[in-house]
């Protein structure tokens, strides 16, 4: 797999983990025959999961994925709109692809996902930049849209659905390590955070049929996968009922007619004790004690929670429309520690330089970071997005210089806290799931602990997908280093 790293102002102080963040990757496999599809994914885990759905849909229409752009008949970019630089990156890629197309005019180029939804009219008005513009809920229409584009017209569908979950589609696992996989459990978002475009680009929240989720997880385990991550913009608000979803009673899974996220977690954990279960992302206003108690009850539900705070100041949180205060967030952290213990991994998202943020309010974010001691964080300076509530109501009045200064202070604080948290693991033994070779050398293997920390250890011939015990003997702020023990 090739990684495409670009200049996006989003920072992770650790090695890239399987958390919702705005990173950039190319996700494709080698095609063997038929027409060739080249697909790049940008942004959150949901986009990577969606690319696997897209590949499955187009595979049935005769497309095989390829990692060679020059051989591609169809190029798709699954896009992110969370920040301006993410969109600028995608425009640069489009320029590159259109240069290639000059020598292969029959090639079709398309934009998928959030940027397609947000900038549909603009993209269509720009001559020859794209042939397809397809929103997140219209991927089933791709075979038809590709044919329209191949006939010389622009293929466009950005309709947002209240029902689409792609529950019946078996994703093509792109560049899979054969050990870990994503499972989308819901789509859309009903939280109207003032800085965020997701409700406008992904539509209203809807939950997927739990039968299909459990079946997909079971199939992955049967194929040799040993970890699944349940994905949603806000997994804690997952809710599926036989009445609201017009389905028969769920007696095959549970005696209840309503399944919430805690119920779903338990159902997936019960598939097999050797199947690890992760999830992302949680919302501080919605994560329940029931979820935490369920996590404690099952060893194979990983003790790790991504709980974005965004700010440590209550006034700023109110302007962000996060619907909780600093005190509420701290209460949730205290409850997590009480139920799951100090070793439970906790990570966060932080935005600095939001509209009207004072220096004192910025210090509140730093003090919250010191209180929680996050294992790692994804850190941003505020980037105004057109159409959001913040863009309409508030002035983006913090200078770029100040934003960057505050961001660097947050990064330094997180680096310090990450190192401190990792140092607490020295001398301890952890159960680690081997995911493959270390990025630096095939003489080392790497895996992750239940708390989502990357561990590097000598390659002693153990196969990926194997659980081993590793004693930690050194660390950096990003990584644990250890030796295999019996």
Q: In sequence order, what DSSP letters do the residues of 168-195 get, joined into one string?
A: T-----TT--SSEEEEE-EE------TT
Tell me 458's DSSP state: E
Tell me 236's DSSP state: G
pLDDT digit string, tens, across residues 404-413 = 999 999 999 9
| Strand ranges (E), 353-453 | 376-381, 429-437, 444-448
Q: In sequence order, what DSSP letters do the residues of 345-368 get, joined into one string?
A: EEEEEEEES-TT--HHHHHHHHHH
Residues 196, 388: contact at Cβ < 8 Å?
Answer: yes
Cα–Cα distance between 110 and 76 in angstroms, integer? 5
- Average the pLDDT over each of 96-100, 106-110, 116-120, 207-211 and give the range with the smallest value: 116-120
Question: Which whole number is the average pLDDT over 451-472?
Answer: 97
Question: In the chain, what is the greatest distance between 2 CA atoms, to the nearest angstrom?
Answer: 64
Nearest to 135 by CA among 123, 147, 148: 123
Residue 246: pLDDT band by 50, 70, 90 thresholds?
low
pLDDT at 16: 37
pLDDT digit string, tens, across residues 411-430 = 999 999 999 999 999 999 99
pLDDT at 116: 85
Q: Which residues contact 159 (CB under 8 A, 6 or more apart)?
A: 135, 137, 138
Cα–Cα distance between 234 and 306 in angstroms, integer? 11
Q: Which residues contact 413 (CB under 8 A, 6 or more apart)?
A: 366, 369, 370
Of residues 278 and 42, more confidence is placed in 278
Cα–Cα distance between 327 and 334 in angstroms, integer? 10
User: Would you call 208 helix, strand, or coil by DSSP?
Assistant: coil
Question: Which whole number is the average pLDDT over 475-480?
Answer: 97
Residue 22 above 90 pLDDT? no
Q: What percent of the chain has pLDDT over 90?
A: 70
Domains of the chain (ranges; CATH) run 10-157 (3.40.50.12160), 180-423 (3.80.30.20), 429-485 (2.40.50.140)
Cα–Cα distance between 437 and 171 in angstroms, integer? 25
Nearest to 18 by CA among 138, 177, 156: 177
The first and second tokens of residue 308, run together, are: 């974005």
Mean pLDDT score of the chain: 89
Cα–Cα distance between 360 and 355 in angstroms, integer? 14
Query: Residue 5, class by beta-carbon neighbours within 10 Å (0-12 exposed, 13-18 middle, 19+ buried)?
Result: exposed
Kindly report the backbone phi and psi dihedral angles of residue 63, in degrees, each rounded to the nearest multiple of 5, phi listed first: -100, 135
Residue 384: pLDDT band by 50, 70, 90 thresholds?
very high
Cα–Cα distance between 172 and 473 in angstroms, integer? 39
Question: Which whole number is the average pLDDT over 434-456?
Answer: 96
Tell me 159's DSSP state: P
Residue carrying structure tokens 């995911």: 435
pLDDT at 471: 98
User: Would you call 424 helix, strand, or coil by DSSP?
Assistant: coil
């Amino acid at each position: 797999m090739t990684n495409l790293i670009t200049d996006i102002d989003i920072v992770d102080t650790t090695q890239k983990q399987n958390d919702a963040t705005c990173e950039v990757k190319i996700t494709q496999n080698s095609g063997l025959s038929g027409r060739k599809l080249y697909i790049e994914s940008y942004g959150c885990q949901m986009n990577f999961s969606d690319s696997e759905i897209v590949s499955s849909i187009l595979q049935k229409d005769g497309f095989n994925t390829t990692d060679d752009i020059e051989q591609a008949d169809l190029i798709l970019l699954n896009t992110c709109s969370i920040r301006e630089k993410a969109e600028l990156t995608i425009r640069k890629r489009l320029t590159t692809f259109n240069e290639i197309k000059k020598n292969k005019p029959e090639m079709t180029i398309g934009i998928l996902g959030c940027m397609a939804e947000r900038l549909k009219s603009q993209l269509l008005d720009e001559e020859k930049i794209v042939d397809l513009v397809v929103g997140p809920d219209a991927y089933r229409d791709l075979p038809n849209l590709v044919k329209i584009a191949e006939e010389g017209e622009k293929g466009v569908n950005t309709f947002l659905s209240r029902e689409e979950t792609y529950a019946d589609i078996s994703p093509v696992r792109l560049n899979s390590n054969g050990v870990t996989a994503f499972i989308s459990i819901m789509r859309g978002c009903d939280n109207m955070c003032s800085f965020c475009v997701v409700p406008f680009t992904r539509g209203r929240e809807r939950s997927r049929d739990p039968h299909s989720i459990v079946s997909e997880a079971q199939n992955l385990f049967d194929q040799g996968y040993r970890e699944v991550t349940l994905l949603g913009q806000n997994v804690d608000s997952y809710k599926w009922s036989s009445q609201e979803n017009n389905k028969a009673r769920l007696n095959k899974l549970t005696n209840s007619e309503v399944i919430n996220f805690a119920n779903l977690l338990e159902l997936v954990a019960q598939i097999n004790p050797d199947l690890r279960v992760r999830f992302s992302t949680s919302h501080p206003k919605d994560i329940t004690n029931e979820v935490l108690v369920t996590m404690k009850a099952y060893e194979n539900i990983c003790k790790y929670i991504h709980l974005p705070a965004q700010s440590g100041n209550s006034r700023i949180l109110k302007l962000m429309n996060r619907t909780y205060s600093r005190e509420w967030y701290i209460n949730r952290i205290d409850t997590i520690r009480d139920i799951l213990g100090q070793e439970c991994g906790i990570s966060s998202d932080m935005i600095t330089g939001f509209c009207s943020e004072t220096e004192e309010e910025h210090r509140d974010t730093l003090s919250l970071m010191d209180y929680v001691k996050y294992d790692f964080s994804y850190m941003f300076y505020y980037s105004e997005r057109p159409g959001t509530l913040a863009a309409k109501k508030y002035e983006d009045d913090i200078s770029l210089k100040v934003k960057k200064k505050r961001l660097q202070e947050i990064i330094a604080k997180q680096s310090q806290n990450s190192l401190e948290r990792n140092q607490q693991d020295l001398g301890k033994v952890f159960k680690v799931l081997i995911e493959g070779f270390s990025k630096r050398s095939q003489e080392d293997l790497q895996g992750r602990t239940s708390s989502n920390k990357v561990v590097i250890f000598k390659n002693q011939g153990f196969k990926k997908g194997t659980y081993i015990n590793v004693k930690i003997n050194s660390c950096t702020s990003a990584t644990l280093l250890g030796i295999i023990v019996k």
